[in-house]
Structure 1
Amino acid sequence: MVKTINGTVQDLSEEPVISDVGTMIAGIDKTVTCAPLRNCSTVIQWKKSDVSGIWKNSPTITFTPSLEDHQKTITCEMTNSIGRTTRKTILLDVCSLSGEPVISDVGALTAGIDKTVTCAPSGNCPATSFIFQWKKSDVSGVWKNSSTVTFTPSPDDHQKTITCEMIISEGKTTQKNILLDVYLPLLEDPKFITGLSTGGVIIFSAILLGIVFLMRRYKKDKPSEPSALTRDSPARMKVDRKVHGGESCA
């Protein structure tokens, strides 16, 4: 039953409402608010699982979580003017942020070919805990607003830089930049075309030299034509008779 004292609702049958805490980052201040679901006149106290007694006395509190607070609980306890109490407990999820963000390996880029790059927090903090902004050395202001970006590099992007800026909280950021290494496609690269032309000349010359060598080898290995005075020819037989004393008798 709802009781009213001097026009103020005094029922505390529902648990209090605690603002969204989400994942907290060790060493970064966090502000949390507790309020009654209805417009009740209440006294609010906070308790913490590793603190004996009352931890804080205020609807809104700000504290600096540590890694030791991970999986600890905090409880908002509300008591109305007639002594009725209700409470709500939340589990703390605290992560560590070890330094600058981590950018996925970009490697060598090819002009005209899309590239996707991802920026993520270091440590075990989820990306959803941060705001990501990308900046580019030849672009004024913010270039992209997302942890993952896809862009098409051009030859003019060679040796330019892109920077991932991660906003941790109001006024606190960390960032990392990388240098772009952009190359033309092989068939458009003057160096490749020059090399290809030079290589073609060398290959053609090698083929010609090979043909000349084979022709010379063929001529060298080709058997000579038989002599007119072969052993079985009549002329050769006549010569043999003269050598051995003239013509034979009948």
Structure 2
Amino acid sequence: MWVLIWAALLLSLTERATCNNEAPAAAYNITYSPAEITPQTGLCAVIPCSFTHPDDFIPRIAIWFKCPDAQCSIKVEMDTIFHSENSSIAQEGYRRRVSLLETDLTKKNCSMIINDITKTDDGEYQFSVSEKLNSGNRNKSTFREKMKIAVKALTQKPSVLTPPLTEGEPATLTCIAPGICSGTPPNITWTWRGTGDNITELRDSTTIQKREDLTSIPITHFSTLTFTPSVEHHTTKVTCQVTFKGNITTEDTVTLNVTHVKEPKISGSNTVREGDTLNLTCFVDSYPPPPSITWSKNGTTALEQNISVLGALTISNMTSEHAGEYVCNAQHLNRTLTASIVVTVMYRPVILNASGCVIQAKVMTCVCVSQGVPLPLIGWLNTEEYFLTKSVLRSSVNTTIRMHVGNHTNTTVECVSINEVGRVREKLQVTHKESQGKQGEEVSKDILAMLLNPPLIAAFAIGSAFSATICCIFLCLTGKCKRYMHSVTEVQLVLYECW
């Protein structure tokens, strides 16, 4: 009988000793998913794991170890990085950095977070769980399976959220720091146009994200930047920089696209010579850019354009018929935008058929009508003293001279017309008309003599000059002097040039 009692007692002590060390593998299991993680410096490491135990085992204390070597010969006092009952047991470098995702061990969740990851966190880790008996002794199980952490350099970038931006409408940019753990709050700064200044305060979020393994992780630190976009902000760059503990930084830069539109602008010369090529470009500063820009002449006639360049209009071999108003049309969202330009085609003068001379009562009257752009100047050849009048109608100049021809019947008169494009010279046809009688002839002689009398001409000139001066003063006061003086001196200028 005593032999059986001693045998049973010895067996009981043997089982108790086994429980105090490592439980049978079939009773205790642990699962890491995955068995190796690669966190980045400055962020955090989440070690998802779950475990099972016998029904009569009630877990009370969770302990995480970091293996000091490949064999993982753990010494509790030196290698503990987390102790759920006594945090002072954990290594100094891991205190306040390591925590459990679930503090209720009866849920069999052993997931752990390590914040502010550094390269020193590389290595293998093991988990141990124990229960506290009434006598003060503990049943403990250290799971043999290990999980590995391989720390990588920080490559994650912050996320900069940019809403649609419209000129004049306030908008808010949001920068979300990388990582999904609490840890030490990072420093978030905005760089606006390269200034590098911190232009907004950090705002933290404590939103909870649910995971499939039923763990919950406090997520994200973020910063916001509120401003009113303008055209000047379009295509500018904004950088969000996040600095973690240990001066580990990462940043991301976004280019702003601001919806806006300005009135179209037409570039290119609006004055071309006959035979040359017209090149006009209609530019619309807008975002989004207009899908197309069309051209029309005088607002009605659609024109073909150079499709290789948006808004470009090219017309070769220009003629006077191409002169007129050109209009470009552009569509921006729901608006139609227009701009116009008046094109002038310069061409050399042409002496019209209405030009010619008539001799009557020894007085020759010659008319020279010339057309051209710019407005041509007219001069006379083979003439002596004469009286001149001039009129202008649009692009035509009409000049009339009267002079005494005496007994000459073979008088030849030439009209010369010139502008900056070219010069034309033509002999005018002379037609003779019979005299209207002696009385008419005498009257003509008197008029001609009076016109050719130097004193009278001088007096007429002085009076005309005085009148012109008074008129010019009046016109200057009304802002029209420049054009008037041009018309007064134009004839004198061409006479000097032609002679």
| TM-score scaled by length of structure 2 | 0.25
- TM-score normalised to structure 1 length: 0.41
Higher RCO by CA contacts (8 Å cutoff, separation 6 or greater): 1
Higher strand share: 2
Say which one has the larger Rg: 2
